[in-house]
Amino acid sequence: MKIGLFSMNTGVCADPAGAIEVAKAAEGLGYDSLWVGEHVVLPDPRVPPSPMNPQDVMIDPIVSLSFLAGHTSRVKLGTGIIILPQRNPVVLAKELASLDFMSGGRLMFGIGVGYLQPEFAAIGAPFDDRGPRTIEYLEAMQALWHTEKPAYHGRFVEFEGVDAHPRPIQNPVPIVMGGHTAAAYRRAVERGHGWYGFALDAEHTAAALAGLEDAAKRYERPSSLGKLEISITPPGRHERAAYEDLGVDRLILLQSPRKSLSELNDWLGEQAPA
């Protein structure tokens, strides 16, 4: 089972020096990937289901991963997740293609539909149609990345007679679908190279895997996607063997924001892949 590291754009890693030290240590210890989350804005005052306080620092995911790419050479760079319907897909395609190109082909593009209505309102992005919008945005981005003459004609995105270089080094760019709903499971089966479950204990992971299995029976999975890779972030303390027994492919460990840099380095060593 591969081991990744989450929260590379918050807590200690929101400081440039801390992010460099943690990223280099994780790569040296054999962690396979570094992951960042995204919230452009947060409700103030904090209200459920907001996961963070509005004053918590969270560096933009693409800026953070680009910075980390320059200080590492092997470790994969994952968005866990980018809230796709809040983004301009043509601009985002350019940013992520540039990241993949400059990092030597290390991007893992994790996406989700989002759930904080105040964040959508502040950005000016529609909330109610975020599911179908996410699918179109992804298709449009893949057209820009992987077709010789990019074109897309949809309900929310339309372009032709344009091109964008550099292309990503990876073809295809790995797509990791987030979310714990039936719709998210369908998106993962139909369009994802992987699925990412956040803050799931072993019991909830088993339930999610059952949901994915049910979706796989109901919806066709293109053979070109291969096996669906399962990544999980456990909530704090966990038994690694329980996730291995469930067939999880990657654990993306959650750093505690309360740890100092010294404590975090000790923890990285304790949690490192065997």
- The predicted-structure confidence for 41-69, as pLDDT tens digits, reads as follows 999 999 889 999 999 999 999 999 999 99
- The predicted-structure confidence for 157-211, as pLDDT tens digits, reads as follows 999 999 999 999 999 999 999 999 999 999 999 999 999 999 999 999 999 999 9
Q: Ranked by mean pLDDT, which of 42-56, 79-93, 248-262 comes out on top?
A: 79-93
* Amino acid at position 154, single letter: G
Q: What is the CA radius of gyration of the chain?
A: 18
- The predicted-structure confidence for 13-51, as pLDDT tens digits, reads as follows 999 999 999 999 999 999 999 999 999 999 999 988 999
The helix or strand, by DSSP H or E, that contains position 153, with its residue range, turns out to be: strand 152-153
Residue 114's closest CA among 127, 102, 124? Answer: 127
Residue 157 structure tokens: 């995105």
Phi and psi torsions of 32, nearest 5°: -90, -20
Q: What is the pLDDT of residue 226?
A: 97
Q: What domains appear along the chain, each with residue ranges and CATH number? A: 35-174 (3.20.20.30)
Cβ distance 268 to 25 under 8 Å? Answer: yes
pTM of the model: 0.97
